[in-house]
Amino acid sequence: MNQRNIAYSILELALVPQGSTIKQTLNNSLALAKKAESLDYTRYWFAEHHNAEHIGSSATSILIGYVAENTKTIRVGSGGVMLPNHSPLIIAEQFGTLGHLYPNRIDLGLGRAPGTDTQTAEAIRSDFMKAAHSFPQELNKIQTYFSVKNKNSKVRATIAEGTDVPIYLLGSSTDSAHLAAKKGLPYAFASHFASTHLFNALSIYHQEFQPSEFLDKPYTIAGVNVFVANTDEEAERQYTTLVRMFYSVLTGAKDALQPPTEMTPELKELSQHPSIQQMLKYSFVGSKQTVKKQVKEFITATQVNELIAVSTMFSIEDRIKSTELFGEIMVEINGNR
């Protein structure tokens, strides 16, 4: 019998609900982080997005500091920093600083996508495409700046040298699986919206993994959408917010997060549209009993070490309730292993 415990965490996009403000959304992000900490969630990661009117997670490192300052034990990090948008030196300095302020609590998750549209990516960094194609080299720079061996170099991120800030590679295809395996780094897959390559990417990572000074054996994280409520019907109702959000993205409407409605036949049909169904394939929706069964099946199939949950709900009260119930599910699953 497999006795390993499965860690459970939260990925936060700071989505702004209709009628709310960015300030209230960010305050709610902190409230959720505090609740997650009290429920023994492992980490709380912020995603990076730009030029998105209803997403508050653009200044990732600042939000990490905000949550870390107001919590005590939960790990806080990026899920992730989109490295081609940034100078590796500046990211090393920012996360080195966070590592000193909040020792043994900061994670640096790195991705290579822009987290925005092409025009905005070019506005962020004129050589974005070059940096994206040079992602392995940009990663090497980050690692160099964090290394104590860099102390005699002419270019240094002195505040980062020797600081304990673990690096995680993020992916939504198979590219970063090869790189994470080669570098011996933990690997997180964005299966909460990119389900197609999940099993292929995990297989590549495990088959090609090379132990490193950072990690002696593979470590995998999978993103999943989680909607847990007292009943299946209530969870399904909450899920309509996510379905409508993805429809908004696909149609270019870019609306604020909409309140839940009843799962009408029209919404049911919409949720079964091939594009939406593929993106939301790994969505666990229902009561504790229902979601527990779904989660156990997913863990058995993927053999991941950790689940990082995304709960795109309109109400912070519903998110907190879902977070509580999902935490209970994971405690029960780990207790029965």
- Residue 130, SS3 per DSSP: helix
224 CB-near residues (< 8 Å, 6+ apart)? 191, 192, 282, 283, 284, 295, 298, 307, 308, 309, 310
Assess whether pLDDT exceeds 50 at residue 120: yes
Assess whether pLDDT exceeds 80 at residue 2: no
8 A C-beta contact, residue 86 and residue 58: no
Number of folded domains that form the chain: 1
Both tokens assigned to 217? 């054996």
8-state DSSP, 83: G
Q: Mean pLDDT, to the nearest integer, of 4-31?
A: 96
The answer to whether residue 11 sits within a structural domain is yes
pLDDT tens by residue, 286-298: 999 999 999 999 9
Place of tokens 């590549």: 204
**Residue 156: how many CA atoms within 13 Å on its side-chain side?**
13
Q: What's the whole-model pTM score? A: 0.95
Cα–Cα dist 176/289, whole Å: 35
Closest CA to 143 of 192, 188, 182: 182
Assess whether pLDDT exceeds 60 at residue 247: yes
The pLDDT value recorded for residue 337 is: 58
- Residue 189, SS3 per DSSP: strand
- 236 phi/psi in degrees, rounded to 5: -65, -35
Assess whether pLDDT exceeds 90 at residue 96: yes
Cα–Cα dist 47/13, whole Å: 5
Cα–Cα dist 67/29, whole Å: 8
- 171 phi/psi in degrees, rounded to 5: -155, 155
The answer to whether residue 269 sits within a structural domain is no
The answer to whether residue 251 sits within a structural domain is no
What is the domain extent for residue 223? 7-234+281-335
The confidence band for 1, taking pLDDT boundaries of 50, 70 and 90, is very low
Greatest alpha-carbon pair distance for the chain in Å reads 66
The answer to whether residue 252 sits within a structural domain is no
Q: The domain that contains 319 carries what CATH number?
A: 3.20.20.30
